[in-house]
């Protein structure tokens, strides 16, 4: 048996190993740098080594090894890589520390992400080991069980921050990070120097500090920061090492603690006053308030309609022949100098004209007005003349390179990906070295990236499309709040792979996203698009001298500019809100040349009705855009903000009719939560809170303010949050905040309706002669709540009458309960005629429940009739006596579906087994004594995993 040596890279941590295998399934590993004990290999994951019909399985703890080459003899050593011999020497040095001093010292470099570690390793001299900590390694206790027992009794323990003593935080090592920490501890003990190369922002600085706190290095440690991952930048940063900036760390700590105090103080108030498990926070509550606000605007929206006249005009009286070619479309702008109303003139909450518009003397044209006017325009003697022609050259600026938020928005708009999906795809592209880091708020391109983009532009579109060096996009506006730890999102490297070149390396979705990033990066370095916009007013002079002024506009592309990068893939974009001056969105594609005083001829006039539209619901992309504009949230959290709201059942996604996009609809619980917060804690739904926090944090970072003082002033004292929360907890009337003041169209004068949110979810209260409470779905939109649905709910509550049990004479109803459908047999003292006519309360008085039987989830209730119902009603079914125990064996339906049971032991009947009605004693006893076969369990798990 021959021995083969494989060179193996751990893909994730970049440790190098040699693998020697003797037999196909025996894998021995010689670790290059670490003791054998620290490496655990298992065969849970198979990796093809490229040898036909042979598979090897390796795993370095949880990291996936990357098998770079096959036999050592065939190893293609790149220049600059280290020879095998050199490595062996290193290993010896490692294993005998006494001799190590003579060798060159080893430096441990810690960055945040493994992919970054991999890249940086390439740029650094051999004596450095680069590893990653995967973001924050410590955190405030996530839940009650992470709080140390000895502190649990203290009043502030729940917060995880000692608010009685300088806001001292309790830090715990996150569960999923303990392995990372152990690993780094081991490394730091065997190196001579520690370099903290985490991101250059508030969070990165804090991570560096936490690393020092946790690792307790006995060797010197320093901080290195760089803006871009290039050899030059990294080397430079290593020549300019600095200390950890404690002010910056304090700013981060203040941010972290503030968020905790806000969230963990307000959430419990929601539990007490509305329902358990609700949440509030600096970021999520702002987002939620926006969504709810928009929904309320939609509910209070009143539509208004108005008419306009559209004129098709020709250049010559012989319009029949050339109408298509040279015609133009214009719409009525004003009549006798008075402007016609458009959508903007109406108040969305009343549907009436706005005050200012009325004062202006605006004309609100109805159909009759339009038709009258139209007739007068058709009379002979009416002339049409061009009154004015105005030409403007407008340019549309090339976009700036992608940052996280704009990537998510464009990816949603052009590719239909959600923010989460976009980030997952981008992560893959990043890890495989196709793009730069995807969580960034800096739109800056490095010089090498600009050069690479320019090269692509020249090659693909020509030199004419290249932006001037002095153009503004070379120094894009950076958001005031940007922390600039990374550069913009762009294709990686010093020369960009074209989208075609990546086709075979990634999935189609990845390719699409890569192409979007590629084109945006190129576009950012291209010239602006130039348009000629022509704006024309045309007078129609009526017989009595009245003047109807029409307006039209046209747009011609003079220079395609950066649009070329997009148009060839995404098609030509028609809508440019920033260029259009028509509120009725009418544009002539090919406006003929016109001059002042020119006579025109009308060949078609038509009244057109327009209606105002309610403001659209937010899409995920629009919400992210709005939050980013307010400075709320960070690139790493945009995609998860919405997930939180969905998880809390505050918001659900709804697919708009006929469109691919999904819009965000607030649930009823969200309305009550926002009600409470707006009324009692208005700052938490206000984006201004984050803005002022950022300002304070900047001062802390600059050393102008003290972080403890900041927290103290916010949380403690007479006007602090703590005191306020206590007072509110006492004074907020739970009954009052539960009520949602929603306009409900219920046309029953004898009844009033209220929507409330209780601990078990939303319900409506019908108050008439008696009070009825009816559960409604949390997802039900206020719009859907009307007389009809309320009536349906009342009917549903009554249940469906199936008939009478011939044996007992009792009535059988099919009802829907908290746990699904069930059958109810009630004693019936009523005549069949009075069925459904009595109020529920009366019914309840007259009827006594004899028996309830639940139905399994898969029963088709639509087709359930009396006979079937009686069959279910016969459950539970006694099968007989178990000879082993002497107890009764029963078949029935329980909370988990059909089962057989005996003496406290229950076994579910899976599909494929005998039904509850058919199963006999023998089969049941067998099932109970040999509960679940190995085969069965495996099947169950397998399907779960697949899902």
Using CB under 7 A, which residues numbered 233 to 292 contact DNA?
256, 259-260, 262-264, 267-268, 271, 276-277, 279-285
Of the listed pieces 136-144, 289-297, 392-400, 512-520, which binds DNA according to CB under 7 A?
A: 136-144
Residues 38-67 that bind DNA (CB under 7 A): 42-45, 62-64
- The alpha-helical segments, DSSP class H, found in 172-314 are 178-189, 202-215, 231-239, 246-273, 284-300
Catalytic-labelled residue, pool 319, 437, 562, 650: 437
Q: Is 773 in the site for DNA (CB under 7 A)?
A: yes
Q: How far apart are the first and last CA of the chain?
A: 43
667 in helix, strand or coil? Answer: coil
Whose Cβ is closer to DNA: residue 291's or residue 341's? 291
To DNA, the closest distance from the beta carbon of 813 in angstroms equals 10
Cα–Cα separations (whole angstroms), residue 479 to 226, 228, 465: 19, 18, 27
- Per the CB < 8 A criterion, the answer to whether 740 and 763 are in contact is no
Q: Which of 702, 701, 840 is nearest to 766 (CA)?
A: 840
Residue in the block written with tokens 């939180």 = 644
Q: Is 520 in the site for DNA (CB under 7 A)?
A: no
Q: Is 681 in the site for DNA (CB under 7 A)?
A: no
Instruction: Dig out the tokens for 326 from the structure.
Output: 């040279």
Of the listed pieces 524-532, 770-778, 830-838, 906-914, which binds DNA according to CB under 7 A?
A: 770-778
Q: Is 685 in the site for DNA (CB under 7 A)?
A: no
Helices (H) and strands (E) in the chain, counts: 29, 35
Whose Cβ is closer to DNA: residue 499's or residue 720's? 720
To DNA, the closest distance from the beta carbon of 693 in angstroms equals 9
Q: Is 94 in the site for DNA (CB under 7 A)?
A: no
Residues 396-455 that bind DNA (CB under 7 A): 427, 431, 437, 439
Query: Bridge-partner residues for 306, per DSSP?
Result: 610
Whose Cβ is closer to DNA: residue 491's or residue 799's? 799
Q: Is 527 in the site for DNA (CB under 7 A)?
A: no
Cα–Cα separations (whole angstroms), residue 329 to 310, 323, 549, 645, 906: 7, 11, 13, 47, 77
Q: Is 774 in the site for DNA (CB under 7 A)?
A: yes
Whose Cβ is closer to DNA: residue 571's or residue 895's? 895
To DNA, the closest distance from the beta carbon of 65 in angstroms equals 12
- Per the CB < 8 A criterion, the answer to whether 695 and 701 are in contact is no
β-pairing verdict for 848-854 and 877-881: unpaired
- State which of residues 12, 408, 422, 442 lies at the interface with DNA (CB under 7 A): 12
Q: Is 715 in the site for DNA (CB under 7 A)?
A: no
To DNA, the closest distance from the beta carbon of 308 in angstroms equals 46
Whose Cβ is closer to DNA: residue 79's or residue 946's? 946
437 among known catalytic residues: yes
- Per the CB < 8 A criterion, the answer to whether 841 and 773 are in contact is no
Of the listed pieces 444-452, 513-521, 537-545, 760-768, which binds DNA according to CB under 7 A?
A: 760-768
Residues 870-909 that bind DNA (CB under 7 A): 895
Instruction: Dig out the tokens for 737 from the structure.
Output: 């905040």
Cα–Cα separations (whole angstroms), residue 846 to 473, 769, 773, 843: 79, 18, 19, 5
User: 349-374 burial, b for 16+ CB within 10 Å, e for fewer?
Assistant: eeeebbeebeeeebbbbeeebbeebb
- State which of residues 567, 775, 787, 868 lies at the interface with DNA (CB under 7 A): 775
User: Applying CB under 7 A, what is the total number of residues that bind DNA?
Assistant: 90
Q: Is 227 in the site for DNA (CB under 7 A)?
A: no
User: 578-611 burial, b for 16+ CB within 10 Å, e for fewer?
Assistant: ebbeeebebbbeebbebeeebebbbeebebeebe
Instruction: Dig out the tokens for 675 from the structure.
Output: 């009600």
Whose Cβ is closer to DNA: residue 203's or residue 560's? 203
Nearby residues of 88 by Cβ (< 8 Å), 6 or more positions away: none
Q: Is 637 in the site for DNA (CB under 7 A)?
A: yes
CA of residue 472 relative to chain centroid, distance: 32
Residue in the block written with tokens 């000879």 = 883
- State which of residues 483, 521, 537, 549 lies at the interface with DNA (CB under 7 A): 483
- Per the CB < 8 A criterion, the answer to whether 494 and 448 are in contact is yes
Q: Where are the beta strands (DSSP E) in 506-546?
A: 529-541
Query: Bridge-partner residues for 602, per DSSP?
Result: 313
To DNA, the closest distance from the beta carbon of 171 in angstroms equals 11
Q: Is 391 in the site for DNA (CB under 7 A)?
A: no
To DNA, the closest distance from the beta carbon of 412 in angstroms equals 19
- Per the CB < 8 A criterion, the answer to whether 522 and 569 are in contact is no
In order, the DSSP letters of 385-400 are: EEEEEEEEEEEEPPPP
Whose Cβ is closer to DNA: residue 896's or residue 917's? 896
Q: How far apart are CA 247 and CA 202, in angstroms?
A: 9
646 in helix, strand or coil? Answer: helix
Whose Cβ is closer to DNA: residue 274's or residue 533's? 274
To DNA, the closest distance from the beta carbon of 828 in angstroms equals 16
Whose Cβ is closer to DNA: residue 256's or residue 680's? 256
β-pairing verdict for 800-804 and 172-173: unpaired
Binding letters toward DNA, positions 596-635, x by CB under 7 A: ------------------------------------xxxx
- Per the CB < 8 A criterion, the answer to whether 242 and 223 are in contact is yes
Whose Cβ is closer to DNA: residue 567's or residue 775's? 775
Q: Is 669 in the site for DNA (CB under 7 A)?
A: no
Q: How far apart are CA 586 and CA 342, in angstroms?
A: 13
Q: How far apart are CA 666 and CA 391, in angstroms?
A: 46
To DNA, the closest distance from the beta carbon of 14 in angstroms equals 12
Binding letters toward DNA, positions 801-830, x by CB under 7 A: --------------xxxxxx-x--------
Q: Is 213 in the site for DNA (CB under 7 A)?
A: no
Q: Is 730 in the site for DNA (CB under 7 A)?
A: no
Q: Which of 613, 640, 614, 638 is nearest to 626 (CA)?
A: 638
- State which of residues 17, 21, 60, 199 lies at the interface with DNA (CB under 7 A): 199
To DNA, the closest distance from the beta carbon of 277 in angstroms equals 4
To DNA, the closest distance from the beta carbon of 830 in angstroms equals 18
Q: Is 536 exposed, middle or buried (0-12, 13-18, 19+ CB in 10 A)?
A: buried
Q: Is 680 in the site for DNA (CB under 7 A)?
A: no
- State which of residues 131, 193, 200, 203 lies at the interface with DNA (CB under 7 A): 203
512 in helix, strand or coil? Answer: helix
Of the listed pieces 197-205, 356-364, 408-416, 566-574, which binds DNA according to CB under 7 A?
A: 197-205
CA of residue 193 relative to chain centroid, distance: 41
Q: Is 25 in the site for DNA (CB under 7 A)?
A: no
Whose Cβ is closer to DNA: residue 357's or residue 411's? 411
Q: How far apart are CA 368 and CA 376, in angstroms?
A: 12
Q: Is 759 in the site for DNA (CB under 7 A)?
A: yes
To DNA, the closest distance from the beta carbon of 356 in angstroms equals 39
Q: Is 555 in the site for DNA (CB under 7 A)?
A: no
Q: Is 654 in the site for DNA (CB under 7 A)?
A: no
To DNA, the closest distance from the beta carbon of 856 in angstroms equals 11
Whose Cβ is closer to DNA: residue 113's or residue 342's? 113
To DNA, the closest distance from the beta carbon of 517 in angstroms equals 17
Q: Is 524 in the site for DNA (CB under 7 A)?
A: no
- Per the CB < 8 A criterion, the answer to whether 403 and 499 are in contact is no
- The alpha-helical segments, DSSP class H, found in 379-507 are 404-410, 419-431, 447-460, 499-502
Q: Is 851 in the site for DNA (CB under 7 A)?
A: no
Whose Cβ is closer to DNA: residue 645's or residue 919's? 645
Residues 154-173 that bind DNA (CB under 7 A): 158
User: Which residue numbers are catalytic?
Assistant: 437
């Amino acid at each position: 048996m021959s021995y083969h040596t494989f060179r193996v890279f751990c893909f994730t941590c970049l440790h190098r190993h040699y693998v020697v295998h003797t037999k196909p399934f025996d894998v021995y590993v010689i670790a290059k740098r670490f003791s054998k004990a620290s490496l655990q290999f298992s065969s849970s994951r198979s990796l093809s080594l490229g040898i036909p019909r042979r598979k090897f399985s390796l795993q370095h703890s949880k990291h996936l090894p990357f098998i770079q080459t096959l036999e050592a003899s065939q190893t293609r050593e790149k220049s600059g890589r280290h020879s095998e011999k050199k490595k062996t020497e290193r290993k010896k040095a490692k294993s005998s520390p006494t001799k190590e001093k003579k060798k060159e010292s080893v430096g441990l470099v810690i960055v945040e992400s493994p992919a970054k570690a991999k890249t940086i390793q390439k740029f650094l001299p051999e004596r450095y080991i680069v590893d990653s900590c995967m973001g924050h390694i410590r955190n405030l206790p996530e839940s009650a069980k992470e709080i140390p027992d000895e502190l649990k009794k203290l009043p502030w323990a729940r917060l995880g921050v000692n608010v009685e003593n300088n806001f001292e935080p309790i830090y715990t090592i996150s569960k999923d990070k303990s392995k990372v920490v152990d690993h780094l501890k081991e490394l730091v003990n065997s190196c001579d120097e520690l370099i903290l190369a985490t991101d250059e922002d508030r969070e990165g600085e804090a991570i560096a500090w936490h690393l020092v706190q946790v690792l307790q290095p006995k060797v010197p440690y320093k901080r290195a920061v760089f803006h871009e991952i290039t050899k030059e930048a990294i080397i430079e940063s290593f020549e300019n090492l600095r200390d950890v900036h404690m002010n910056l760390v304090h700013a981060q700590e203040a941010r972290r603690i503030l968020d905790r105090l806000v969230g963990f103080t307000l959430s419990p108030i929601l539990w007490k006053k509305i329902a358990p498990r609700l949440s509030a926070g600096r970021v999520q509550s702002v987002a939620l308030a926006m969504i709810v606000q928009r929904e309320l605007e939609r509910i209070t929206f009143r539509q208004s309609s108005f008419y306009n006249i559209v004129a098709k005009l020709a250049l010559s009286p012989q319009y029949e022949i050339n109408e298509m070619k040279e015609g133009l479309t214009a719409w009525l702008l004003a009549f006798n100098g008075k402007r016609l109303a458009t959508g903007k003139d109406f108040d969305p909450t009343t549907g009436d004209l706005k005050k200012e518009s009325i004062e202006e003397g605006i004309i609100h044209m109805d159909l009759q007005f339009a038709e009258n006017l139209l007739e007068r325009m058709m009379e002979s003697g009416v002339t049409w003349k061009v009154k004015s022609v105005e030409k403007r050259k407008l340019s549309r600026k090339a976009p700036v390179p992608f940052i996280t938020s704009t990537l998510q928005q464009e990816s949603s708009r052009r590719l239909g990906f959600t923010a989460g999906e976009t980030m997952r795809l981008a992560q893959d592209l990043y890890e495989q070295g196709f793009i730069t880091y995807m969580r960034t708020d800096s739109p800056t391109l490095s010089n090498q990236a600009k050069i690479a983009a320019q090269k692509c532009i020249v090659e693909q579109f020509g030199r004419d499309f290249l932006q001037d060096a002095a153009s503004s996009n070379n120094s894009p506006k950076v958001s005031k709040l940007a922390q600039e730890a990374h550069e913009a999102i762009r294709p990686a490297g010093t020369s960009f792979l074209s989208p075609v070149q990546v086709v075979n390396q990634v999935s189609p979705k990845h390719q699409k996203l890569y192409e979007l990033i590629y084109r945006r990066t190129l576009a950012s370095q291209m010239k602006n698009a130039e348009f000629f916009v022509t704006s024309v007013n045309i007078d129609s002079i009526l017989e009595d001298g009245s003047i109807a002024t029409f307006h039209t506009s046209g747009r011609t592309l003079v220079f395609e500019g950066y649009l070329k990068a997009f148009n060839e893939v995404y098609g030509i974009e028609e809508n440019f809100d920033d260029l259009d001056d028509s509120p009725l969105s009418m544009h002539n594609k090919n406006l003929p040349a016109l001059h002042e005083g020119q006579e025109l001829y009308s060949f078609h006039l038509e009244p057109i009705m327009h209606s105002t539209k309610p403001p659209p619901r937010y899409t995920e992309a629009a919400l992210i855009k709005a939050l980013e504009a307010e400075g709320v949230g960070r690139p790493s959290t945009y995609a998860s903000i919405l997930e939180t709201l969905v998880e809390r059942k505050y918001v659900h996604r709804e697919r708009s009719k006929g469109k691919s996009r999904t819009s965000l609809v607030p649930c009823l619980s969200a309305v009550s939560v926002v009600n409470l917060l707006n009324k009692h804690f208005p700052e938490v739904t206000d984006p201004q809170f984050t803005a002022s926090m950022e300002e304070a944090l900047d001062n802390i970072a600059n050393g102008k303010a003290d972080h403890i003082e900041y927290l103290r002033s916010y949380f403690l004292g007479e006007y602090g949050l703590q005191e306020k929360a206590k007072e509110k907890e006492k004074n907020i009337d739970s009954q009052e905040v539960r009520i949602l003041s929603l306009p409900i169209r219920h046309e029953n004068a004898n009844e009033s309706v209220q929507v409330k949110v209780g601990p078990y979810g939303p319900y409506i209260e019908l108050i008439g002669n008696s009070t009825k409470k009816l559960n409604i779905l949390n997802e039900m939109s206020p719009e859907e709540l009307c007389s009809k649905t309320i009536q349906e709910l009342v009917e549903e509550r009554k249940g469906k009458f199936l008939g009478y049990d011939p044996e007992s004479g009792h009535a059988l109803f099919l009802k829907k309960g908290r746990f699904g459908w069930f059958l109810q047999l009630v004693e019936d003292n009523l005549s069949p005629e009075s069925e459904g006519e009595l109020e529920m309360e009366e019914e309840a008085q007259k009827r006594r429940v004899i028996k309830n039987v639940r139905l399994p989830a898969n029963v088709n209730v639509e087709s359930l009739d009396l006979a079937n119902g009686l069959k279910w009603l016969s459950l539970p079914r006694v099968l007989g006596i178990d000879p082993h125990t002497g107890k009764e064996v029963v078949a029935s339906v329980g909370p988990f579906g059909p089962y057989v049971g005996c003496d406290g032991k229950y076994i579910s009947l899976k599909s494929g087994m005998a039904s509850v009605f058919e199963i006999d004693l023998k089969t049941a006893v067998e099932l109970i004594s040999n509960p679940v076969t190995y085969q069965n369990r495996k099947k169950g798990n397998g399907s779960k995993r697949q899902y």
